[in-house]
């Protein structure tokens, strides 16, 4: 090994020991990249909320809350991983316990804006599914219950959410022509994220906690990349629909910066 390589190796070891990023630790780097991406997304969504019509503003603001909460937790998770080298389970589930219900709120917000007669029961059913999914997931990952019990319970919560947005009141409301093309596109795209994007989480749980075939490094990398896509893309779909709808109605404005 060359002297330069030895110096770099020593520097990396010292950086890691002091709590800084190790260039060889891809998981820690992913925590950092995603936390910054979440901050940037928050600023973007907050500014863009000024340019869309009024009934989209709340959805845009809620989307910015999703990425802001995730950003704060990712800074803490990054520090936890770098200093301790273990999965930040508590921080991750605190993040999910706040951001996932907010994402469920988005389904209600975009539909209720165009269908005022939509019942509040839709939101509460989605919330119940979310609580069940996260509670069992946390219990399984933290070792407070059998991993198989946690997996099955979490899957039941997820299935309940999917039933509501495909076949329940939410799914039925989204099929009506009165909601408009932009709202229908946003709902469909968000539903795609919840169906396909969220499938990454139970796969990571299954292989990491039930089969033991995936190391904590890979489980956290999978979860990080899933959050990156599922949170930011989820809100981006709402932004795209909001811009399209506002533009179609001739109300597009420049942000106030």
Q: Which residues contact 58 (CB under 8 A, 6 or more apart)?
A: 109, 113
Residue 211 pLDDT level (bands cut at 50, 70, 90): confident
Q: What's the count of helices (H) and strands (E) in the chain, helices before strands? A: 10, 0
Query: How high does pLDDT run on average in the chain?
Result: 87
Using one digit for the tens of pLDDT, what is the confidence trace for 153-187? 999 999 999 999 999 988 888 876 677 888 888 99
| DSSP conformation letters of 29-49 | HHHHHHHHHHHHHHHHHHHHG
pLDDT in the model for residue 235: 94
CA 206 to chain CA centroid, nearest Å: 19
Looking at per-residue pLDDT, the higher value among 110 and 214 belongs to 110
Q: Three-state SS for 111?
A: helix
Structure tokens at 227: 């959050």
At residue 10, the pLDDT reads 64
pLDDT at residue 257, rounded to an integer? 46
- pLDDT at position 112 over 80: yes
The token pair at 126 is: 């989605």
Mean local confidence (pLDDT), 112-140: 89
Angle between helices 89-112 and 54-84 (to 10 degrees): 170
**pLDDT confidence bin for 256, thresholds 50/70/90:** very low
Architecture of domain 3-17+24-248: Up-down Bundle (1.20)
Domain ranges of the chain: 3-17+24-248
Band the pLDDT of 43: cuts 50, 70, 90. Answer: very high
**pTM for this entry:** 0.87
What average pLDDT does range 101-111 have in this prediction? 91
pLDDT at 177: 66
């Amino acid at each position: 090994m060359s002297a330069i390589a030895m110096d770099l190796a020593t520097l990396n070891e010292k950086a890691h020991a002091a709590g800084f990023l190790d260039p060889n630790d891809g998981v820690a780097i992913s925590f950092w990249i995603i936390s910054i991406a979440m901050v940037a997304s928050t600023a973007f969504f907050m500014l863009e909320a000024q340019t869309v019509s009024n009934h989209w503003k709340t959805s845009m603001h809620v989307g910015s809350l999703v990425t802001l909460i995730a950003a704060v937790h990712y800074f803490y998770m990054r520090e936890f991983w770098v200093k301790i080298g273990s999965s930040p389970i508590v921080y991750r589930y605190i993040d999910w316990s706040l951001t996932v219900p907010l994402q469920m709120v988005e389904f209600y917000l975009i539909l209720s804006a165009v269908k005022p007669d939509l019942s509040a029961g839709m939101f509460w059913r989605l919330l119940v599914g979310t609580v069940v999914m996260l509670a069992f997931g946390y219990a399984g990952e933290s070792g407070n219950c059998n991993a198989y019990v946690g997996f099955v319970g979490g899957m039941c919560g997820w299935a309940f959410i999917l039933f509501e947005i495909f076949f329940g009141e939410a799914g039925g409301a989204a099929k009506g022509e009165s909601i408009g093309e932009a709202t229908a596109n946003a709902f469909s795209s968000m539903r795609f994220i919840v169906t396909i994007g969220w499938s990454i989480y139970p796969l990571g749980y299954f292989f990491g906690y039930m089969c033991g075939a995936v190391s904590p490094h890979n489980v956290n990398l999978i979860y990080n990349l899933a959050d990156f896509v599922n949170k930011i893309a989820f809100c981006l779909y709402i932004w795209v629909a909001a811009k399209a709808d506002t533009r179609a109605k001739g109300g597009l404005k420049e942000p106030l910066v």
